[in-house]
């Protein structure tokens, strides 16, 4: 997981992934996240605060572990990664006093962009 060194929610999201996927997330601090996202093909409108690469897929932002697991299980054609744009309240790593915002997880890649999962 690549993250800005000043971001704290990234570590909370990584803990969610480690717990719910029984995996380890290595954090790498980067001072030029915009360049890293461009290199990895993250569409500008889908960017968030951290970027992870797992099994060849790009995971952008506060994507729930269950969506990542589904991506790895299904391996849909034309999908390079998943993204949750921005930092919606209630998404993994952005829990705040029980407040929640509805948000979508977008699949992106050569096949375009589409909603992969929705969280009300």
Domain count along the chain? 1
Report whether pLDDT(96) > 90.
no
The share of the chain scoring above pLDDT 90, in percent, equals 88
User: What confidence category does residue 8 fall into, taking pLDDT thresholds of 50, 70 and 90?
Assistant: confident
Residue range(s) defining the domain that contains residue 95? 2-119
Which residues are bridge partners to 113 per DSSP?
108
Which residues are bridge partners to 51 per DSSP?
2, 60
Q: Give the per-residue pLDDT at 6.
A: 84
User: What confidence category does residue 111 fall into, taking pLDDT thresholds of 50, 70 and 90?
Assistant: confident
How far apart (Å, rounded) are the C-alpha atoms in residues 112 and 21? Answer: 27
Segment (H or E) for 84: strand 81-84
Q: What is the mean pLDDT of residues 25-48?
A: 95
Q: Give the per-residue pLDDT at 113.
A: 97
Prediction pTM value: 0.95
């Amino acid at each position: 997981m690549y993250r800005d060194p000043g971001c704290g929610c990234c570590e909370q999201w990584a803990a969610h992934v480690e717990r719910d996927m029984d995996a380890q997330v290595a954090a790498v601090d980067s001072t030029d996240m915009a360049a890293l996202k461009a290199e990895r093909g993250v569409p500008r409108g889908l960017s968030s605060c951290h970027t992870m690469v797992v099994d060849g897929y790009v995971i952008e932002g506060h994507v729930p572990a269950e969506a990542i697991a589904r991506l790895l299980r299904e391996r849909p054609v034309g999908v390079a990664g998943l993204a949750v744009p921005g930092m919606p309240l209630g998404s993994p790593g952005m829990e705040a006093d029980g407040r929640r915002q509805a948000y979508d997880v977008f699949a992106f890649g050569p096949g375009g962009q589409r909603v992969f999962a929705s969280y009300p």
